[in-house]
Amino acid sequence: MHYLDTGARPVDVDAITLADAVALAPAERIELVKMDIEGEEVPVLWDASPEIPCEDRSQLTVEFHDFLDAASKPGIRAVIDKLRGLGFFTIRFSWHTYGDVLFVNRRWEPLSLRQRADLTVVHKSMEVVSVGSRIESECVNDLTR
Amino acid sequence: MKVESYWSHTFLPELIRPDGVIFDFGTNNGGFCKLVPAGYGFRAGSVLGSKTVAAGQRVCVSQSARSKAPDSTPQLKSGKVLINALS
């Protein structure tokens, strides 16, 4: 069901911060954070940097929305630089925008030089375009069995 | 190294421990949070910023994060979406 579908109805939800949300799993190491919040990634990641310590995040996959607002690029670059400074290895899988950026925590996942080269050269240029449809179709099959 | 991508979100599944937790900020229709954990057995929590979108979510269970005492924090389960928040 999509929010535009008939039958959708308003509900009340609480507003919580990034730290509040992550605190829902207080004893867990967050292995992956996927973030797609329609342009608010920059202020959230910038403001929340103390809440994204190197200790307990492994990967962040972020869709920045500079493809909708080119003026946001300086802020995006600043956030990327900040996360690099916090110890994240950064891979931009998208070619012309920051629409698909992966941050890997070097403290938890010390990728070798070969692995980094493999990611940036082989996967970015050759393989990523094909795996999205595969994982989606496989998972849909699992869900519908 | 294995690389997976769901729409504009590329990640490295081999680096995620089997009991690892995924947080999905900006769930929209729940695709990432439903499909990726289901494919790998990961646990996922969903955070949605829009009340309007949340209204149409069948996969999300609206819960009050703040009303929960620390010892009753929702437990993340494989393939389940637990919260709508961050509006």
Window from A11-20, B16-25, B28-37 with minimum mean pLDDT: A11-20
Q: What is the pLDDT of residue B46?
A: 66
DSSP string for A45-92:
HHHTGGGS-TTSEEEEEE---TTT-GGGHHHHHHHHHHHHHTTEEEEE
**Model confidence at B64: pLDDT above 60:** no
Task: Spell out the residues 6+ positions from residue A18 whose beta carbon is closer than 8 angstroms to its own.
Answer: A44, A48, A51, A52, B25, B86
Alpha carbon of B65: minimum distance to chain A alpha carbons (Å) = 7
Following CA atoms A84, B12, A131, B21 in sequence, which dihedral angle do they give, to the nearest 10 degrees?
A: -110
**Model confidence at B71: pLDDT above 50:** no
Q: What is the pLDDT of residue A99?
A: 92
Paired sense of beta strands B4-6 and B9-11, if any: antiparallel
Supply the pTM of this predicted model.
Answer: 0.69
Radius of gyration from C-alpha coordinates of chain B = 13
Q: What is the pLDDT of residue A100?
A: 92
Domains and CATH numbers, chain A: 25-111 (3.30.110), 112-145 (no CATH)
Chain A partners of B46 at a C-beta cutoff of 8 Å? none
Interface of B with A in 38-67 (CB under 8 A): 38-39, 42, 45, 47-58, 62, 64-67
User: ipTM higher than 0.90?
Assistant: no
Q: What is the pLDDT of residue A102?
A: 93
Chain A partners of B29 at a C-beta cutoff of 8 Å? 2
Q: What is the pLDDT of residue A6?
A: 58
Question: Which SS3 state, helix, strand or coil, does residue B10 take?
Answer: strand
* Dihedral angle sign, alpha carbons of residues A76, A31, A125, A65: negative
CA angle at residue A25 from A20 to A26, to 5 degrees? 80
Q: Would you say B20 and B43 are in contact if contact means Cβ atoms under 8 Å apart?
A: yes
- pLDDT-flagged residues of chain A (< 50): 1-3, 54, 128-145
Q: Which residue has the higher pLDDT, B72 or A15?
A: A15
Q: What strands lie across the sheet with B21-25, from one edge to the other?
A: A88-92, A101-105, A57-62, A30-35, B21-25, B43-47
Q: Would you say A61 and B10 are in contact if contact means Cβ atoms under 8 Å apart?
A: yes
